[in-house]
Amino acid sequence: MRLHGEVSFDEDEEEVVMVPAAALSSPLNGGAVPVTKFVVGYALTKKKVKSFLQPKLLLLARKKGISLVAIDDTRPLAEQGPFDIILHKITSKEWQQVLEDYHEEHPEVTVLDPPNAINHLNNRQSMLAEVSDLNLSSFYGEVCTPRQLVIMRDPSSIPTAVAMAGLTLPLVAKPLVVDGTSKSHELSLAYDEASLSMLDPPLVLQEFVNHGGILFKVYIIGETIQVVRRFSLPDVNTFDLLNNVGVYRFPRVSCAAASADHADLDPHISELPPRPLLEKLGKELRGRLGLRLFNIDMIRELGTKDRYYIIDINYFPGFGKMPGYEHIFTDFLLNLAQSKYKKCLSGG
């Protein structure tokens, strides 16, 4: 149940409570920029509220003068607020229309992020298109995407479609639509041609790239980038291809429980991608996608030092699983407030 009010954290009772939003003051830019009632309205699913609005974030936000206010989706958005920022992750078309209409009437409110930009990541057919067009290669490495094929219907046609596309087995199968459910993050590994017709369209088929069983989750919050290691699917060798048949299903790969940050790994496999490469990639994707809150799932091809593949991009991922996220996110919000204030002073 969503309530209209400020989210705060009671240190004595150690529980999340809701209190009316009040005028707040936050000293920005060394105390020289006064901001009153810096309010962030949020429209999130219950699951996202629980994972993201953790007590440590709520307490720090309050200390920094950020008022987090739940948006009541049973009332007109225009009757709520005023908001400086609207933070959201609801995928319904009705909500997207409400938000677009509101932003047209209130262009001074920052929306994180625009619904039309988010929609680009809700479909795996379009998700990696911007990466494919990047041709991002430099002294620090090369970034590309696996070859992939979209199958909309008729499982029996998949073997022929794969042969015509020239894809090499094994293939990773992923649901075409990313709607925030656990099911949309499930994947399957098909080892042989006969098993392809057992898959369930609509889906995307990606060529599997051996990567030492390690995936890099690259979190992007504004201009801040943080990387964590996660265990991924194991490598596939010739023996596996000759002796495995059928479809192997994996409920969810690279979740927080699969953290590899403290595992004893081969340095050639576990070494993080170069920071300059990630900064260049983050800057390019922020501009092309029009998003400020997302993460990139990235692997390094086994046996190479500098060839990376982006296999997924997710909007507003599980930032609560990222070490120190509460400091990064509240600083990000404050920087937005500061930029907005300076823009108002300049008459922009």
Residue 300 vs residue 6, higher pLDDT: 300
Strand ranges of the sheet holding 247-250, from the earlier edge strand across to the other edge: 148-151, 203-207, 171-175, 187-190, 247-250
Annotated binding-site positions for ATP = 124, 174, 206-217, 232
Residue 10 has pLDDT above 80, yes or no: no
Amino acid at 171: L
In the chain, where the domains are located: 38-113+328-342, 120-315
Measured CA distances, 139 to 57, 136, 200, 216, 306 (Å): 38, 10, 41, 20, 9
Is the model's pLDDT at 36 over the cut of 60? no
- With 70 as the cut, is the pLDDT of residue 188 above it? yes
Q: Which residue has the higher pLDDT, 121 or 21?
A: 121
Point out the annotated binding site for 1D-myo-inositol 1,3,4-trisphosphate. 48, 89, 185, 217, 314, 318
Find the mean pLDDT for residues 30-48: 74
What is the reported pTM? 0.85
Averaged confidence pLDDT in the chain: 85
- Spatial separation of the C-alpha atoms in residues 109 and 100, rounded to whole Å: 11
User: Which residues participate in the annotated binding site for Mg(2+)?
Assistant: 297, 312, 314
Helix ranges restricted to H, the chain: 46-52, 55-63, 93-105, 115-119, 124-127, 129-132, 158-165, 238-243, 267-270, 275-289, 325-345
Which pLDDT score, from 0 to 100, does residue 140 have?
A: 86
Element (H, E) at 34: strand 33-36
What proportion of the chain, given as a percentage, has pLDDT over 90?
A: 65
Q: Is the pLDDT score of 34 beyond 50?
A: no
For the segment 77-102, the average pLDDT, to the nearest whole number, is: 92
C-alpha distances (whole Å) from 229 to each of 5, 37, 39 are: 37, 38, 34
The residue to which tokens 């991009």 are assigned: 313
* pLDDT score of 252 more than 80: no
- The amino acid at residue 60 is L
pLDDT-derived band at 2, boundaries 50, 70, 90: very low
The CA–CA distances, whole Å, from 147 to 144, 152, 195, 209 equal: 9, 17, 19, 10
Whole-number pLDDT of residue 5: 39
Amino acid of residue 209: V
The binding site comprises: 48, 89, 124, 174, 185, 206-217, 232, 297, 312, 314, 318
pLDDT for res 337:
86
Average pLDDT estimate for 188-202: 94
- What is the architecture, at CATH level 2, of domain 38-113+328-342? 3-Layer(aba) Sandwich (3.40)
The predicted structure's pLDDT at residue 348:
57
Q: Specify the pLDDT at position 28.
A: 41
**Amino acid identity for residue 326 in this structure:** E
Q: What is the mean pLDDT of residues 253-261?
A: 61
Fold assignment, 120-315: D-amino Acid Aminotransferase; Chain A, domain 1 (3.30.470)
Tell me which DSSP letter residue 123 carries: B
Q: Residues with Cβ < 8 Å from 52, sequence gap 6 or more? A: 44, 318, 319, 320
CA distances from 301 to 134, 204, 211, 235 (A): 18, 20, 5, 10
pLDDT of residue 254: 52
Residue 32 pLDDT exceeds 70: no
Look at residues 64, 55, 53, 39 and name the one whose alpha carbon lies nearest to residue 89.
Answer: 53
pLDDT tens digits, 125-175? 889 988 887 867 777 889 999 999 999 999 999 999 999 999 999 999 999
d(CA 238, CA 240) in angstroms, rounded, equals 5
Q: Could you give the C-alpha distances from 23 to 106, 202, 256, 335, in angstroms and in order?
A: 20, 49, 37, 19
pLDDT in tens, 13-31: 333 333 333 333 334 444 4
The residue whose two tokens read 């409570």 is 17
